[in-house]
Structure 1
Amino acid sequence: MEGKKTRGRQKVEMKRIEKEDDRLVTFSKRRAGIYKKLSELVALTGAETACLVFSPGGKPFSYGHPSFENVLDRFLENPPSTDGGADELAELYRRARIGELAQKYNEMQQQLEDGKEKGNKLKDKMEGNESEDWWNSPAEELNLQELIELEKKFESLQMMLHNKIKDSNNGASSSHAPEIGQPHAYDPNFAFDHGSDWGAGSSGF
C-alpha cells in the first residue's frame, strides 16, 4: 500500500501573523522554544542567562539561570557601558514585575468573585430559594455546616414520606373495617333459633 505523500517540512515565512488567536499560539510555542534553547546553553556551557519577553497582550514573561533576578542584579552591578542601557533594563524589569503582580492580582480578584458567586448560589439552595433541587447540591463543594443542614433536610424528607405512607396505609385499613356501633340492615332470611343454647353457640350465626 502506497504511503501518504506529504510536502515535508516547509519554511515558514517571517511576517506578522494577522489572526490574533494564531499569533498568541505562535508566541506561546516560540517562547517555549527560546526557553529550551537557553536551557541547552546553560547545560552545555554553564552560562548564566536572562530573558525578558512581553506577549502581544503586554504580559511579561521572564526566564533566567540561576534566576532572572540574580542575572539582572549582576548586570546592574557591572554595567558594560554608561550609555543608560542598565537603567533602561532596570526600568523594563520594574515594569515586568509590576505587570506580573497586576496579573496575579486580577486573577485573585476573579477567583474571589467566582468563589463569592458560587457561595451565594449554595446559600440560596440551602435556604430553600431553589428548594426544588436542593438535594442536587454538590457535597464536595459544601462545608461542614452546610453538610449538616443538608443531612437534616434529608432526614426531614424521610420522616415526612414515612408519615405519609403510614397515614395512607391507616386510611386504607379503616375503609375495609366495619364501623362499631352502626346498625346492620335486617336480613329476612336470617334464622334465629329461640331454642338454642347461648352458652354452646348458635347455628344461626
Structure 2
Amino acid sequence: MSSGRRGQGRQKIEMKKISNETNLQVTFSKRRSGLFKKASELCTLCGVDVALVVFSPSGKTFSFGHPNVDTVIDRYFSQVLPQNNDTMQFIEARRSANVSALNAHLTQINNTLDDAKKHGDELSHFLKEIKALLWWACPISGMNRVELEFLKKALEELKNLVAQHVIGISIQHAPTQFLIHTLISTSNIFCYCSTHI
C-alpha cells in the first residue's frame, strides 16, 4: 500500500569522512568513476595531458592518464618539453588521435550508461506505482494487521457488489412466468418479486 509520502529528494551531504566501511568503499568507487570520466572529457574537449593517481581506502592504486600516466608524470618531474623532431610529432599525433577516439568512445559509453540508469530508475518508480495500484494482488504474507483488515473489508464490499449485480442480472433475465425469491445475505432482506403478464 502506498502512504502517499514522497522523499525529500537529493540533499547536501556534510563533507566528512564516512565511518561505515561498506558505504566508504561504494562512495569511493562511484566518485573515482566520475573523476576519471571528467578527466576524460577534459582531455577530449581541451586536448590537455592529464594524469590522475588515486589510492582506495583499502590501499589499491587506480590511475588515469592521457596520453598515459607515465608520460605525464615524467614530463612533470623533468619539466622538459618533448623533443621537437618530425618522428616524435608524428608518434604523438597518432597517439593523441587514438586516445581522443578512445576518450570519445568512453564518454559515449558513460552517457549511454547514465541514460540506462535513468531509465532503470524510471522503471523502478513505475513498478512501485503499479504495485501501489495493485495492492490487493500482493502476497498477504507481507501485509501487516492494518493492511489485512483493509483487504478483508475491501473483499467483503466486492463480494456484496458482485452479489447485487448477479441478482440484478437474474431479475432482468428471469422468465416472467416464474416467481423470484431471493435472499440478499448482506442486508438480511427477503425480496419476493412476482411478475404477471
The TM-score by the shorter chain falls in which range?
0.3 to 0.5
Query: Higher Cα Rg: structure 1 or 2?
Result: 1
Structure with more of its chain in strand, by fraction:
2
TM-score between both structures, scaled by the size of structure 2? 0.37
TM-score between both structures, scaled by the size of structure 1? 0.36
